[in-house]
Amino acid sequence: MKLGYLEFVEVLRKQLLNALNLQEQQIFFKKKAIDNKDRLFVEAFENSSGKQLCGIDVKDLYERCMEGSSMESILYSVQEEIEKLKMVSMLEGKMTPDSYQKIKKYLFVKPLNKKEHSLEMEDAVHEDVGDIACVLYMMLSNTNGYFTDIKIKNQHLEQWEMTKEAVMEEALKNTCQMAPPLICTNDENKWGGSFMENGAFCLSKSDKVMGVRLSTNTKEYGAISVFYPGVLQRLAQLMGSDLYILFTSVHEAMIHPKRMFCPEDLERILKETLKEATPDEDYLSDEIYYYDRGARKIMKWKKVVSKVTLPASCVERLPL
């Protein structure tokens, strides 16, 4: 039986009261409350600033219900958003090692250009690879592919009693699960193909010669897939070569076999691509990177002395 809009709101309110063990007055409905949208307000928790309310866009949830989502799944998603709000409050106060266990599943990593984002990264947790910073975030929401997030600060690591390496490793694994890596092949010029497992995917002769584009299934900040555990090793294995890497934007990278390309030509291609096709806000790097499959290291092509080791979380032994 299909619920009417106000019926749906009341059913959701009752279920939340029961699930969160709250009193009647702690969850209330207001029409056109914020941004001219109907909201169901939940008294989520109380901290030093007073009672904290979580305003839920109920029309969006009702549309999901009409499209076939169950009340159970809608209730779960609302509870998850309330839990994340509590975690944001935790980040603003004193944290403990136990806090990390609650937060760690929401951690993920985005790639940013170090120079362009230097000020905002001063106290943020990040690992540098050349002129690229892999920055640690906590996911607040993911609605229709749009992320809301908050940076994790160095002080949080101290309060969690965790090393940066361990937390980054956890976050990269999360990111890989949230947004698995995908390649775009030359033959059909479309994204797809499960290439990480042996026998799951084979590159064509054209791909082994020309290379592939690498991103994630969401494409949003998909260049982070270069740093996923085992990805470069697997592509080097499939191409039978060390690799050149061109970060055409924060959203994707071009991967080329070393044996088939001259880095000077790739440098020209990258500069043209950045100039003609990459918006300023999507810029990541104008450097050519090189992956040595024997050493399992990534380095800038121009300066051998700028060799950098992939974060430990990016290294995973694969059969050769």
pLDDT tens per residue, range 254-288 = 999 998 888 889 999 999 999 999 999 999 999 99
Query: What b-and-e string marks burial along 29-57, b requiring 16 or more CB atoms within 10 Å of the CB?
Result: beeeeeeeebbbbbbbeeeeeeebbbbbb
Band of residue 244 on the pLDDT scale cut at 50, 70, 90: very high
Task: Tell the residue number behind the tokens 């309330």, with chain if given.
Answer: 82
Is the domain of 198 the same as that of 167?
no
- Residue ending a domain, choose from 126, 144, 174: 174
What is the structure's pLDDT at 88? 65
How much is the mean pLDDT over the chain? 84
In a domain, 119, yes or no: yes
In a domain, 319, yes or no: no
Q: Which of 32-46, 155-169, 176-190 is least confident?
A: 32-46
Q: Which of 89-98, 149-158, 298-307 is least confident?
A: 298-307
Number of domains in the chain: 3
Is the domain of 197 the same as that of 295?
yes
Is the domain of 188 the same as that of 157?
no
C-beta of residue 235 within 8 angstroms of C-beta of residue 212: yes
In a domain, 152, yes or no: yes
What is the structure's pLDDT at 317? 39
In a domain, 320, yes or no: no
Whether 146 has a pLDDT exceeding 50, the answer reads no
- Residue ending a domain, choose from 69, 93, 117: 93
Band of residue 308 on the pLDDT scale cut at 50, 70, 90: very low
Whether 246 has a pLDDT exceeding 70, the answer reads yes
Query: What's the pTM value of the predicted model, to 2 decimals?
Result: 0.70
Of 94 and 32, the one with more pLDDT = 32
Whether 132 has a pLDDT exceeding 90, the answer reads yes
Domain residues for the domain of 239 are 181-314
pLDDT tens across 194-206, in order?
Answer: 788 765 666 788 8
What is the structure's pLDDT at 225? 96
- Residue ending a domain, choose from 115, 148, 174: 174
Strands 212-216 and 252-257: antiparallel
What is the structure's pLDDT at 48? 52
Band of residue 42 on the pLDDT scale cut at 50, 70, 90: confident
| CA 136 centroid distance within chain | 9
Instruction: Name residue 47's beta-bridge partners.
Output: 50
Q: How far apart are CA 115 and CA 118, in angstroms?
A: 5
